[in-house]
Amino acid sequence: MTTDSTRRVAEEAARIIFDEAVQDYGLAKRKARERLGLPMTLALPKNTDVEAALVALLAVFGGEAHTERLEVMRRTALEAMRALARFSPRLVGPVLAGTATEHSPVNLHVFADTPEEVMMELFDRRIPFDTFDRRLRTRAGAGYEEFPALRFIAGEVPVEVTVFPCHGVRQAPLSPVDGKPMRRAAEAEVLALLPE
């Protein structure tokens, strides 16, 4: 059951995600609670409540600009997926869910024997990139695992590519929003999200 205070925190957290470059729901919720001057003992809303508030916020304030930005991001995702086709790329996260803000990167999962294979593909295509580690939960009740990841810019859109072992295509990591396996979309599903 959501109290009025936790609802307000969810709405403020959604505003923080919408207006600022905050992608972490937990951080957005803590900042929201602090901004609203609510006690630290207040139970924070579920991530799904924040996502629902973000969807509502985007519907009201995102308008045509959000729709156009989302289309650009999905088209960018499709181009990146085609460039990395031999690694069976999948789109995940806010761009797939439709909750991406102007601060959201395109998030792709790819599958390779080694991350160096993906790096070489980007080298060959003359795409400059940075490397980092992405922390993800792969099983409920388990800790976080680190996966190699690459970050580059396509046009004006940031793209983040997390590299999983080849067998990782069968088991998606857990979503930070609802704790269930992340929804992953192959090229055909991403194409279906775009207007004719």
Residue 1: what pLDDT?
40
- Per residue in 1-37, pLDDT (tens digit) is 458 888 999 999 988 988 887 888 889 999 999 999 9
Domain co-membership, 17 together with 109: no
Domain co-membership, 81 together with 31: no
| CATH value at residue 163 | 3.30.460.10
155: which residues sit within 8 A by CB, 6+ positions away? Answer: 72, 76
pLDDT at 72 over 50: yes
Tell me how far apart the alpha carbons of residues 194 and 70 are, in angstroms, rounded to a whole number: 9
Count CA atoms within 13 Å of residue 115 on its CB side: 17
Tell me how far apart the alpha carbons of residues 89 and 82 are, in angstroms, rounded to a whole number: 8
Which residues on adjacent β-strands are paired with residue 159? Answer: 106, 152
Domain co-membership, 88 together with 151: yes
Domain co-membership, 96 together with 169: yes
The mean pLDDT of 44-49, rounded to a whole number, is 90
54 domain-assigned: no
Domain co-membership, 125 together with 154: yes
Domain co-membership, 18 together with 94: no
In total, how many domains does the chain have? Answer: 2
Considering only CA atoms, which of 153, 108, 156 is closest in space to residue 127? 153
Greatest mean pLDDT range, 73-82, 168-177, 187-196: 73-82
Question: Hunting for tokens 């792709």 — which residue is that?
Answer: 108
Tell me how far apart the alpha carbons of residues 99 and 85 are, in angstroms, rounded to a whole number: 25
Containing domain of residue 29, as a range? Answer: 4-45
pTM above 0.75, yes or no: yes
Domain co-membership, 126 together with 179: yes
Domain co-membership, 104 together with 163: yes
24 domain-assigned: yes
Q: Could you give the 3-state DSSP secondary structure of residue 24?
A: coil
- Strand 106-111 to 157-164 pairing: parallel
Domain co-membership, 13 together with 103: no
- Per residue in 174-190, pLDDT (tens digit) is 988 888 999 999 999 99
